[in-house]
Chains A and B, each alone.
Chain A
Amino acid sequence: MSVTTNVADKLMTLPESSAVALQIRAEHYFDAIRGILDNFAIKKELDSIYITSTIPSQSIINALQVLEVDMSNIFFVDCISQIMMSTSSKHEHTIYVESPTMLENLMLKVEYLTKRTQGRNDIVILDSINSLAIHNNTKILSEFLHLLVNNLRAKKAYTVIFSMEEYRSEDISNMLNIVVDETIIAAGE
């Protein structure tokens, strides 16, 4: 089974309001994204809100376009492009936050997008806990995760938090264990 179907199948078994950690290896990164957005969210008719602090949203959008994924219900909150001074043109489905340290603003933009897309359920993807941990200390990041996940649960939204296998640490595992219902390991043959 491919990583794409594996991830999607595992998500399909979850009830709404679930929050999960998705443990992935760098080589499976785009397969996992495709599994969540194309094979899971689109089938379940969810609006996807993708928070990226790892690579610029434009890179993900480019990859999705190559895969011919329907972008109409996928939105991005991008807090990495501005500090990387990436000059790429602004995409209409992306909201930019100045820096990955503005965690409150990330929550506010997610709140804004969930308000704008009322009527359909949402899935919020946080990519990734590891890159946020580079810019924030553990205490503030835990507080952020706790608030974000609880707000999203109240909205019956799914939350998927990326955790990169290559950057595992005890701090990160502890942080995730407090807020998520389970950890999914993205695997393929």
Chain B
Amino acid sequence: MAPKVNLSTSVRERCVTGIQGLDNALDGGIPRGNTILVTGSCGTGKTTLSLEFLVHGALDDETCLFISVTESSEKLLNNIIPYDFFEESLIKKGKLIFVDMPVVYEKLGLDKLEFQLEEVDVLVRAIADIVKEMDVKRLVIDSITSVCYRLRTQEKIRDFILKIGATLSSLGCTSILVSEISPVEERYSLFGVEEAIADGIIFMGNLERRGDLLRTLQVVKMRGTQHSRTKYVLDLTSAGVLLVPLLKGGSVAGG
């Protein structure tokens, strides 16, 4: 008998983001256990996309955790309440949990502006404990850049992301680390090391085409899946993040 032809590479289980256009671009979703970077300059929709990823997980009965470093949970909640698919019960049932990072720092007695290697370990362990205890399946840290400011050196940043990535992966938790960059930057992360270590990079930006400003999204890297590398135009709506391919108009210059 002839062997069956299987064109798909070995399929890793997916964490379906629930954002239809993104799941299509990722050929089904983020490979489960990946720690990925969602990166872009301010106002490009990083927080919105990350929150929606968690809401869909919670609707799917997964425990989802948002660790906020820069914004208060209350402000974030105002962002998701307008969603057509949001249910307040997700929060009451503990499926969608918000934790403020400053509170974590305080509990751990991490009050210095610069962390040492031991303190990096304490922080990773603390996050791992929360994930384990609550059986968290989706995690967002918004933003990792603010944490990196406290780590200062590339060595400590590498150490932190490697450790947190490995720990979360071993717990079967799919994670988004939000990373902030300035619009003119040539790379995908402020310190340069985050992008090399992460399992995936989703880049969000603005594109100017003959006077129109378009919001864009591009999957730059994603370990464990064959993904689209096309640039998409996105819209933030009460039905969630919507994506369509950027039209090329037959010319590179867009003329």
Contact = CB atoms under 8 A, between A and B. Distances in A.
Interface residues of A, number: 20
A99 B211 CA distance: 10
B214 A105 contact: yes
Nearest to B237: A112
A103 B242 contact: no
Interface string B230-245: 0001110101001111
A25 interface: no
Contacts, number: 55
A98 B212 contact: yes
Contacts of A115: 239, 242
Given A99-B212, A140-B250, A104 B239 contact: no
B84 A116 contact: yes
B239 A116 contact: yes
Interface residues of B, number: 22
B251 interface: yes
B210, B237, B251: residue with the most chain A Cβ atoms closer than 10 Å: B237
A128 B235 CA distance: 23
B246 interface: yes
Nearest to A99: B212
B109 interface: no
B250 A107 contact: no
Interface in B165-213: 209-212
Contacts of B255: 137
Contacts of A116: 84, 239
14 contacts: A99-B212, A101-B209, A101-B211, A102-B212, A107-B244, A108-B234, A108-B237, A108-B244, A111-B242, A115-B239, A116-B84, A116-B239, A137-B249, A140-B248
Interface of B: 84, 209-212, 214, 233-235, 237, 239, 242-251, 255
Given A102-B212, A144-B247, 10 more contacts: A101-B209, A102-B214, A104-B214, A105-B235, A108-B234, A108-B244, A109-B235, A112-B239, A116-B84, A143-B247
